[in-house]
Amino acid sequence: MIFSRKRAGSGRNARDERAAESRLGPDTEEPTASTPARGPYDISEMSDDVQRLDLGSLHIPAVAGVEVRVQADPQGVVQQVVLVHGENALQLGVFAAPRSEGIWDEVREEIRQSLFNDGAAAQEMRGEYGTELRARVRTPDGITDLRFIGVDGPRWMVRGVFQGAAAVDPAAAGPLAECLDGLVVDRGQEAKPVREPLPLRLPREVAEQHQAQAAAQAAGASPDGSGEG
């Protein structure tokens, strides 16, 4: 899907509304100080001691039962992040956004148009993360339901794609939603083109192991040096 820039006026509404809702007590219209806003959070907003996997621009909380699957190149640059719990999956992406406005509204429309061009109908629905996009697509494995969500933050946007039962029933997301709500974005201070994916990388020790395995495979040997190839 190719993203092209155009202006939108209400991109930050979903995150702001969710933050306001989460600060309200159950029986009051006044904000409560004890209940913080749900994530994804900007790194400047976080001060907790939750254990998270540091992938550079994304810090993913450790949640029981959730497997983090990362596709990376031989240099350790992460190209895809997918969280898996049972039959459900959540693919994550994070992108640069302007300081003055969010981009989810326009990105969502472009995703909808791309799906339409591929012969898949998509429907906008109001969800817990604001306006979501739901679609049913044909894949080599059969018909697959997808649920696209977007959260605009300060100079970034997180895009998530749910698959499995969580794509049609948000309540089925369970631990995957917990991961999303605890996600932290480290945008960095450097200027970046709008829509550019923010850099993701493997933790150093994992990257070193990944590079060693890639070098061993390139040399026709197994990672343990046994010479099997």
pLDDT (tens digit per residue) in 150-192: 999 999 999 999 999 999 999 999 999 999 999 999 999 999 9
Q: What's the mean pLDDT when you consider all of the chain?
A: 82
Q: Tell me, what's the pLDDT at 124?
A: 96
Q: Which residues pair with 72 in a beta bridge?
A: 78
Residue 13 lies in a domain: no
Total count of residues recorded for the chain: 229
What was the pLDDT predicted at 3? 25
Could you give the CA distance from residue 69 to residue 40 in angstroms, rounded to a whole number? 19
Residue 6 lies in a domain: no
Can you name the residues that pair with 91 across neighbouring β-strands?
82, 161
CA distance 22 to 98: 25
Q: Does residue 9 sit within a domain? A: no
How far is residue 74 from each of residues 69, 214, 227, measured CA to CA in Å?
16, 6, 20
Question: What's the number of domains the chain is made of?
Answer: 1
Is 98 inside a domain boundary? Answer: yes
pLDDT at residue 5, as a whole number: 30
What is the model's pLDDT at position 127? 93
What is the pTM assigned to this prediction?
A: 0.77
If 0-12 CB within 10 Å is exposed, 13-18 middle and 19+ buried, where does residue 145 land? Answer: middle
Find the CATH number of the domain harbouring 64: 3.40.1000
Q: What is the pLDDT along the chain (229 residues), one digit of tens a residue?
A: 222 233 333 444 455 555 544 434 444 444 344 334 688 999 998 878 889 999 999 999 999 999 999 998 888 889 999 999 999 999 999 999 998 899 999 999 999 999 999 999 899 999 989 999 999 998 888 899 999 999 999 999 999 999 999 999 999 999 999 999 999 999 999 999 999 999 999 887 665 566 666 667 777 755 555 554 4
228 inside domain? no
Q: Look at residue 134 and tell me if it is in a domain.
A: yes
Asked if residue 55 belongs to a domain, the reply is yes
> What's the order of all strands across the beta sheet hosting 52-54?
41-42, 184-185, 58-61, 52-54
Cβ neighbours of residue 170 under 8 Å, at least 6 residues apart?
A: 127, 128, 147, 177
Q: Count Cα atoms within 13 angstroms, Cβ side, for 139.
A: 9
Write down the pLDDT at residue 23: 38
Q: Which domain, by its residues, includes 50?
A: 41-202
User: Does 187 fall in a domain?
Assistant: yes
